[in-house]
Amino acid sequence: DIQMTQSPSSLSASVGDRVTIACRASQGISNYLAWYQQKPGKVPKLLISAASTLQPGVPSRLRGSGSGTYFTLTISGLQPEDVATYYCQNYNSVPFTFGGGTKVEIK
Amino acid sequence: EVQLLQSGAEVKKPGESLKISCKASGYSFASYWIGWVRQMPGKGLEWMGIIYPGDFDTRYSPSFEGQITISADKIISTAYLQWSSLKVSDTAMYYCARVSESGSSTDPLDPWGQGTRVTVSS
């Protein structure tokens, strides 16, 4: 199985800050990487597919990058509505494992 | 509009069986893989498995294989997740979600159902 490791597990930043979440795959997955956002008590929402393709309606301050084994999700200009837990997911090969999640809070 | 409507919350005892459902609408049910994801209380997302209703091809995570059964009924556009003997450790929220692209298993999950909370307690 491919292991997905996210870092940090949590972060606290000020409104307007730039934050970066890393996701590392235990073996190469090309760009078969998705990012999801789960707000407290809510259903996960797909933000980014193919490592860097923003889904319709997702703010452009979110950006995904990477390929192979290392990926990042960057939020440029953190907003209060970005408070959530973010998960990466490998969908290159079964099982399509998720990372452990990164909880983002406002300082 | 694509929608996945899951069955309601369940409270069961250890050893009991359970089958929860996920009714799809707004698209050709047989043409898209549909998956199940577990979220234990206060924990992260765990990918359980997926099924292609068109031919019932099913893939399981090794972590869940043998513990659950994923099935589908094309006639009523519904996917299922079932247990034959529940454990306390099966207590969790369970989400169904459609793979975003038609015919492909190697695509992300979008959209998601609202979740079914399963509580197993003696």
Tens digits of per-residue pLDDT, A6-37? 999 999 999 999 999 999 999 999 999 999 99
- pLDDT lower than 70: segments of chain A: none
pLDDT of res. B102: 84
H runs (alpha helix) in A20-104: none
Give the angle A66-B35-A98 at the CA atoms, nearest 5°: 35
The beta-carbon neighbor of B115 closest among A43, A87, A96 is A43
Tens digits of per-residue pLDDT, B57-99? 999 999 999 999 999 999 999 999 999 999 999 999 999 999 9
Residues 16-55 (B) with a CB less than 8 A from some CB of A? 35, 37, 44-47, 49-50
Residues 41-80 (A) with a CB less than 8 A from some CB of B? 43-46, 49, 55
Mean predicted confidence (pLDDT) in B11-35: 97
Q: Using a CB cutoff of 8 Å and minimum separation of 24, what contacts does A51-54 make?
A: none
Burial bucket for residue A90 (CB in 10 Å: 0-12, 13-18, 19+): buried
pLDDT of res. B103: 85
Taking 90 as the threshold, does the pLDDT of residue B23 lie above it?
yes
> Which neighbouring-strand residues pair with B49?
B36, B60
pLDDT of res. A59: 97
A contact test, residue of B45, B50, B99, B104 with most A CBs within 10 A: B45
pLDDT of res. B63: 97
pLDDT of res. B10: 98
pLDDT of res. B48: 98
Q: Which of B101-105, B107-111, B114-118 has the lowest mean pLDDT?
A: B101-105
| Chain A partners within 8 Å of B63 (Cβ) | 95
**A102–chain B Cβ distance below 8 A for any pair:** no
pLDDT of res. B22: 98
**A96–chain B Cβ distance below 8 A for any pair:** yes
pLDDT of res. B53: 97
Query: Nearest Cα to B38, choosing from A83, A95, A8?
Result: A95
Task: Give the Cα separation of B57 and B46 in Å (integer).
Answer: 20
Task: Give the Cα separation of B94 and A66 in Å (integer).
Answer: 30
pLDDT band at B101 (very low <50, low <70, confident <90, very high): confident
Mean predicted confidence (pLDDT) in B41-69: 97
Task: Give the Cα separation of B19 and A107 in Å (integer).
Answer: 43
